[in-house]
Structures are given as C-alpha cells and as structure tokens.
Structure 1
Amino acid sequence: MRRTIIAAIAAAGLLLTATGCTDDEITTEPTKTGAAEKPKNAEPTEEEAQESSKAAKVGDTIALKGNEGEKVDAVLKKWVDNAKSADEFFSPADGKRWVAAQFELTNTGKKPYVDSPSNGAQVADADGQRFPATFADVADGPSMTSDANVPPGEKVLGWIVFEVPKASKVVSVQFALSSGFANQTGQWNVS
C-alpha cells in the first residue's frame, strides 16, 4: 500500500513537471491592444514605463495561456461587491455575502477553448484569505457557463460568484485557464 502511494506521488510530480506546472506565474500587467510591436532591445517610452507598472483593474485585458496551448484574452468586465441573488430561493450563508465578477473570455488561439471557467477563478481579501467560486445566480446577469467550448475568435461572457465573509475586504480577483491548473494566472485589483 505504501509503495502504491509513493508511486502515485512520484507520477503526479512527473506529470506536473511534464505539463510545465512548476513555474507558476501571476500576471497583473494588462495587455495592450492594437499597439505596434517594438524591437525587443528598444527602450520603453515614459508612458509605457508608467503603464507597465500599473496593476490590472476592472476593464483591463490580460492575455493568458493554458496547459494545452490554449490562448485567451481575459477581461474582468464588471465587479459587484455585495451581489444580490437572482431569485428568492438562494442566498449567501449566514455571516457571508456574495461578490461577483463578470468575465469576457476571447479565444485568441488556434484550437477551441474548452474549460469550466469558474474552476479557475478565486478572490483574495486584504488579510490574504482566498475564496473559490460558488454556484449562484446573481441579479446582475447570466452566470458563466460551466462547460465552455469556445471556437477560435469567439468569446464567452458571464458572471462568476464567490461567497466571502461579510467583514472581508476583497482586494483582487484571479483567473487561470485549464480549470485553474495553468501555470499562468491573471490578477485584477478591485479595491
């Protein structure tokens, strides 16, 4: 039994190494759209230097890559703190509230983007606590699909909901492809 467990752990380690999951990266730099490419050795202009030091915020696009070569431009379109339920039957648990992020995910790759986007989303509060997505519908609009299958050049739009303590001050939203297992994560500041 013990050898089986050790073999399984070793196999998982090899899988993580083979898929590139050992070099995780959190990206907070928004992607520029429509900008002309500059030579790699060119000095950034003052405006570019200021913009690159900015953290992504609501409305910014971050280009993300998945473990199987997927490429998606992710935009945090809207953010709602203290989101309201879409119906009278569901509500946050006692002492909790819902916050919601509307994402637009555009497939910029050459193959379909197939994923459950909410699996790759989480929020963080000012104390460093992290909260995964929860299944809930909010009054602000339709939920993100749980089984996205987006052809190249097309997009998917929807709300992802998170249940957090009422006292938590949520400061950032993170999103990663490959159901959250991609080694690149986008992060947007929301406070």
Structure 2
Amino acid sequence: MIGGSEGLCVPGGRAPAQVPRRLRLRGALAAAALLGPALVGAGPDGSGETVPLAGNEPGQRLDVTLVRVVDPASPAGPQGPQGPAPDDSTRLLAARFRLENTGTVDYNESPAAAAHLLDTAGKRFAGLNTATTAGPSFPDTVTLSPGGSAEGFVTFRIPKDAGLAAVQFALNGGLADDVGQWSLP
C-alpha cells in the first residue's frame, strides 16, 4: 500500500486496511500511484465498479466504469500507428470502459490517453487505440455532451509474463489530479 491515507477519498471514511477494490486518488497520492507500484486495494477484478472523476477544469466530471477485462486479447484488422500484433514477448489486454459525462461541459478527449495499466512490478503502460477481437475500441477522440455516454475498449501492450495489478483512468489525457483505479486479479 502507498504510505498513509492522507488525500485518499475512501467512501464512508474507512481506514486504509478496509479500502474497497476501486478507488479515487487525489493530488500527491495520485502522482505517486502513477509513478510507482500502485496496488492500493485488494480483491478480485473491480469490473462493474463506477468511479466519479473530476477533471482539472471547472465543469469536467465523468462517471467511469470498468466493465470488462479481456486478457489476452487478439488483434483485429490493420494495426495502424499503434504497432503490429504482439510478438513472442508481449500480449494485448483490452479493458472495456463505460463513460458518462456528469459534468456541465463537453468531454472531448482520447480515452486511450486517459487509461493506464499497472503491473505487479510497478511498471506503467499507456492505453492504445489498437483494435482487438474483444470488441469495438474507442475512436481516437470521444466527444460527449453533458448527460452523454459511450462505451468501448482501450488496449494495452504488455510483456507476456507481466502480472496485473490495476487499471487507472484520469481525465485531461490521464493528467488530472482525480484518478480512478480498479485492482485486477
């Protein structure tokens, strides 16, 4: 666990030992979670859990749900600028997210840039718009008016033997102070 609970938004004010498997991280704790080993919850796949997130600008709010994780995911169609199919040393993982704009301004950004995967060795992997057979990926840019929603996959290219720790999502291209995190089995 990342040291201390200061700045940790835990529903019901529970102690860190009782932290649910999905979290919202803020400020310095969020930065530490993005840079180091960040398994801050425990338990099985956090899919189905919705985390309300705020962006860095007034009115930016998004409810984000990790719906499903497909590991490994098979490449589909042309791979484009995100690279070729995985080789003997890598695999693809696809995470399906549901996004709902609960703010007062349009959401207009790339979900792939907003998502990251953390492995058990503390390495961080950026999301990609690589198509897989798991289902439709998000387009390069998603625009949602207040009240609008969208669902799609973000793909990650990870080492074949990587252990999974967590998936994270943050507005503003993954740079917002408010970070949603779902632990993975």
User: TM-score under structure 2 normalisation?
Assistant: 0.73
Residue segments in structure 2 that go unaligned for 5+ positions in a row: 1-6, 23-45
- Residues 129, 140 of structure 2: 8 Å contact kept: no
Q: How far did residue 141 of structure 1 move?
A: 0.8
The 1:107–1:182 alpha-carbon spacing in structure 2 relative to 1, beyond 3 Å, is same
- In the TM superposition, structure 1's runs of 4+ consecutive aligned residues that sit over 3 Å from their partners are 87-90
The corresponding residue for 2:168 is 174
Paired residue secondary structure (2:127):
strand
Distance in 2 of aligned mates of 1:26 and 1:54: 12
Aligned residues: 149
Find the partner of 2:127 among 128, 133, 144.
133
Q: What is the alpha-carbon distance in structure 1 between the residues aligned to residue 143 and residue 51 of structure 2?
A: 20
1:88–1:121 distance in 2 versus 1, CA, 3 Å:
closer
Amino acid in structure 2 at the alignment position of 1:75: T
Q: How far off is 1:135 after superposition?
A: 3.3
2:66 corresponds, among 72, 76, 81, to 76
User: Is the CA contact 1:26–1:186 (under 8 Å) kept in the aligned structure 2?
Assistant: no
The residue type paired with residue 173 of structure 1 is: V
Q: Could you tell me which residue of structure 2 aligns to residue 150 of structure 1? A: 144
Identify if the C-alpha distance between structure 1 residues 150 and 88 changes in structure 2 by more than 3 Å, giving closer, same or farther: closer
- The whole-number CA distance in structure 2 between the counterparts of 1:108 and 1:127 is 34
Equivalent of 2:56 in 58, 67, 74: 67
Distance 2:77 2:109 in 1: 27
Compute the RMSD of aligned alpha carbons: 2.2
Partner of 1:3: none
Structure 2 residue 19 is the aligned partner of structure 1 residue 53:
yes
Deviations 1:123-155 (A, max 9, x none): 011111111112310101111121111011110
2:32 corresponding residue in structure 1: none
TM-score by length of 1: 0.71
CA distance in 1, matches of 2:155, 2:78: 16
